[in-house]
Amino acid sequence: MDDETSDGKRGTSSIVQSSDGKRGTSSIVQSSDANRSIVNRSIVFTEKNFAPRTSHLARIRYLCPMITHEKITIAVDGFASCGKSTLAKDLAKSLQYTFIDSGAMYRAVTLYFLRQEVNIYDTEEVSKALEKISISFRHLEEGELAVTFLNDENVEREIRSKDVSENVSLVAAISKVRRFLVAQQQAMGKEKGIVMDGRDIGTVVFPDAELKLFITAQIDVRTQRRFDELQRKGIEMTRPQIEANLQERDRIDSTRKDSPLKKAEDAIEIDNSALNRAEQLELALSYVKRVTVERLNG
């Protein structure tokens, strides 16, 4: 639920359930005057054995203006491994939008360059290599998330490797590569109803996006999240290696000349260090709802 308090704070509150079956209310309160979030989160458990039956109807009512109204474009930007893709996927699923992981496209180009030993400092070589690259997202099974294909090969796992992670920011700093991928990203978002995550989505790819979110989280939280993710995928990287990679990529991404990572002026910043997946989704949906209602009201 989206509420406004008498002292001008906005917030969301929702029914949550603990692992031992207790029911409670989770509230997230945010100052309405600043583009920064959170900071008061409280969960009060009151009752045992609460069956999670709230959601269906309540959620449909909650989402109704959003899914019935004309679709919007949602840009999700931020630093490495701060949960952008998770949030973007969850938003796309809730709103029945298309999700595009723009980072996967930079990773796929990097994988191709590594395999073909392209000299990234030779612009001719880079241009020729780009002509041979085709990237697509395909659903292997209905209802499953799309995976990344590079020239008809499923590269979803390989693009997350240490080698690709260590080179992707250098490749992403090349203007020719950016022009090549940004054009494709803009074409994918032409019809709206898209959630795209990356570094320059709100600033360059979709500067007119109706909703722009800029995600941040503390470095130790980001490291642990990426460590867990790589473990699940069976990719070996130690915590210190991961932390060093995240910091180095952030440095290159934020300081490159072409489309550096920065918060768009009209983006809403969310620090999700203390939020779980459901809470960050709930908060983001409250912003979607706000934008949608504002548009409905003209």
74 binds ligand CDP (CB under 6 A): no
Distance of closest approach, residue 200 Cβ to ligand CDP, in angstroms: 5
Structure tokens at 184: 């494709």
Separation CA 270–CA 84 (nearest Å) = 10
Separation CA 178–CA 186 (nearest Å) = 12
Structure tokens at 159: 């693009």
Stretch that binds ligand CDP, among 101-109, 122-130, 132-140, 277-285 (CB under 6 A): 101-109
Distance of closest approach, residue 67 Cβ to ligand CDP, in angstroms: 26
SS3 4: strand
Query: Which lies closer to ligand CDP via its Cβ, residue 14 or residue 253?
Result: 253
Binding mask 170-199 for ligand CDP (x = CB under 6 A): --x-------------------------xx
Q: What distances in angstroms separate CA 298 from CA 191, 267, 293, one per listed residue?
A: 21, 20, 9
Stretch that binds ligand CDP, among 98-106, 207-215, 266-274, 278-286 (CB under 6 A): 98-106
Binding mask 107-146 for ligand CDP (x = CB under 6 A): x---------------------------------------
Distance of closest approach, residue 77 Cβ to ligand CDP, in angstroms: 8
* 102, 203, 223, 292: residue in contact with ligand CDP (rule CB under 6 A): 102
Are 287 and 211 spatial neighbours (Cβ–Cβ below 8 Å)? yes
Query: Which lies closer to ligand CDP via its Cβ, residue 84 or residue 289?
Result: 84
- The alpha carbon of residue 125 and the mean position of all alpha carbons in its chain are separated, in whole angstroms, by 32
Separation CA 90–CA 153 (nearest Å) = 26
- Helix, strand, coil shares of the chain, percent, nearest 5, are 45, 20, 35
Q: Are strands 73-78 and 211-216 parallel, antiparallel or unpaired?
A: parallel
* 12, 81, 86, 223: residue in contact with ligand CDP (rule CB under 6 A): 81
Q: Which residue has the closest beta carbon to ligand CDP?
A: 103
Stretch that binds ligand CDP, among 2-10, 100-108, 141-149, 236-244 (CB under 6 A): 100-108
85 binds ligand CDP (CB under 6 A): yes
* 10, 23, 212, 249: residue in contact with ligand CDP (rule CB under 6 A): 249
Beta bridge partners, 25, equal: 15, 44
Per-residue HEC secondary structure of 256-269 comes to CCCCCCCCCCCCEE
Stretch that binds ligand CDP, among 21-29, 47-55, 168-176, 186-194 (CB under 6 A): 168-176
SS3 11: strand
270 binds ligand CDP (CB under 6 A): no
Closest CA relative to residue 72, chosen from 244, 193, 218, 168: 193
Stretch that binds ligand CDP, among 22-30, 102-110, 122-130, 265-273 (CB under 6 A): 102-110
SS3 297: coil
- The alpha carbon of residue 132 and the mean position of all alpha carbons in its chain are separated, in whole angstroms, by 28
Binders in 200-219 for ligand CDP, by CB under 6 A: 200-201
Give the binding site for ligand CDP (CB under 6 A): 80-81, 85, 102-103, 106-107, 168-169, 172, 198-201, 249, 253
